[in-house]
Amino acid sequence: MRALPGVAGLMFFIIPLFPPFITLTSVSVPGVSLIPAPLAIALLVLMAVIAIYGVILNLTEPGDEVPTLGPLLLWLAAAVLSAALGFDPAAGAIFLAIFGFGIVWHVSVMRYYARPGFAAAIYHAFLLSGILASLAALLMLVTQTPSSQYAIGHGRAIGTFILPGELAGYLIIYLLLAFAVARTARSRTLRWLAVFGLLCGTPAFLLTFSRAGEVGLAAAIAGFVFAQLRRFRLRTAAAIVVVAVIAIGFVFNSHHNPSENYTRLSIWQAGLGIVQRFPFTGVGPFVFAKIYPLVRLPDGESTAFHAHSFLLTTAAETGILGVAAALYAWWQFVLILRSRLRTASAPNALLASAVAAGLLGTWVQGLIDTVSVVIFGLWLPFMAVALSCARYGLAEA
């Protein structure tokens, strides 16, 4: 238990280093990874060690209840079944293992959030990590280093992530949480970290020029405003979304290759074709890229790593069973969060609502894009953070 705060802080600190795990798969990387394969393997081994530590800890140390555990295990079981019945069971083995580790991470946060030092380690590490990730992205953009990443990204902020959309998805949750921490934290150090994180993260987010990310952040802010206001909340939330959509319209092709505007249409059609052929259990996790060339339209995009939509990718790879399991897990999360918010104090409700709004924003982004680092590195731990915040707030942090 003495090691728990340090381990928790480490896990939330290294989230910006998760994207290079894609280099360990058999598919071609749709970007430039700054992390060499040996370091990515070392990080994966570290995660495995931490996962074993987490399992042992949860089996031996008492903690809070975890009402979301059953739905999450059902989601994992659906993915494993799809892998076993799919075309290449080994293709998604790494990410299925990471998803399993994410469940251990989720359970550990919920069970031990109120333990001394745990919450403080989470927030200090995550806020500091976001500052460093944002500064790195800004510095690399200004210096156009590495040149290959700058060229592939068309001059967009990427940093340690593989694609600009991944940095945008990470910052959707980060910015909402940093704002709430700046509003509610008693610790001066934590407040300043949150404020500095906002100052660094906001320009980094804007310079990703991620259209899906911008829509997602607008939805997150609108959702947070809707949860906080008592009057005119629907009108205000709708106005935020409208303004964001108009703003995106003015910079629609900024730092984008215009030929990419219609690639999603052909990829979506191919994804629907896969769903029609394998509706119940899909083709297997992370097999979309291998099946896509067989079903793509004659004039469609030549390659596609995923279906550019979380729900469509999930349907294609894990079928109806996988989609139902994922939606059931999220629905249970929403029900439990609503129940806890009813009895939460104002500061706790504000913090929990901010984290939940960030998750909502990544869901909106995920409707038109698939962001692996969000799904495997942010969703499960921050579902637990949102639920724990509603009960404990920042704890002793």
Q: Is residue 304 part of a domain?
A: yes
Asked whether 93 and 113 are in contact (CB, 8 A), the reply is no
pLDDT above 90 covers a percentage of the chain that reads 65
pLDDT band at 257 (very low <50, low <70, confident <90, very high): low
pLDDT above 70 covers a percentage of the chain that reads 94
In this predicted structure, what is the pLDDT of residue 123?
A: 97
Dump pLDDT digits (tens) for 192-241. Answer: 999 999 999 999 999 999 888 999 999 999 999 988 887 778 888 888 88
Axis crossing angle, helix 380-392 with helix 310-342, rounded to the nearest 10: 10
The DSSP code sequence of 324-369 is HHHHHHHHHHHHHHHHHHHT--HHHHHHHHHHHHHHHHHHHHHHS-
Quick one: which of 215, 211, 196 has its CA closest to 134?
A: 196
Give the residue numbers spanning the domain of 355: 4-392
pLDDT band at 30 (very low <50, low <70, confident <90, very high): low
Q: Is residue 88 part of a domain?
A: yes
Residue 20 in this model has a pLDDT that exceeds 90: no
Residue 297 in this model has a pLDDT that exceeds 90: no
In this predicted structure, what is the pLDDT of residue 260?
A: 66
CB burial string 254-265: b at 16+ within 10 A, e below: eebeeeeeeebe
Q: Is residue 254 part of a domain?
A: yes
For the segment 148-175, the average pLDDT, to the nearest whole number, is: 91
Instruction: Indicate the number of domains in the chain.
Output: 1
Dump pLDDT digits (tens) for 334-344. Answer: 999 999 999 99
Dump pLDDT digits (tens) for 80-128. Answer: 999 999 998 888 888 888 899 999 999 999 999 999 999 999 999 999 9
Backbone angles phi, psi at 309, to 5 degrees: -170, 125
Q: 150-159, 259-268, 291-300, 358-367 — which one is most confidently predicted on average?
A: 358-367
pLDDT band at 21 (very low <50, low <70, confident <90, very high): confident
| Bigger pLDDT: 90 vs 280 | 280
Dump pLDDT digits (tens) for 337-390. Answer: 999 999 999 999 999 999 999 999 999 999 988 888 899 899 999 999 999 999
Q: Is residue 397 part of a domain?
A: no
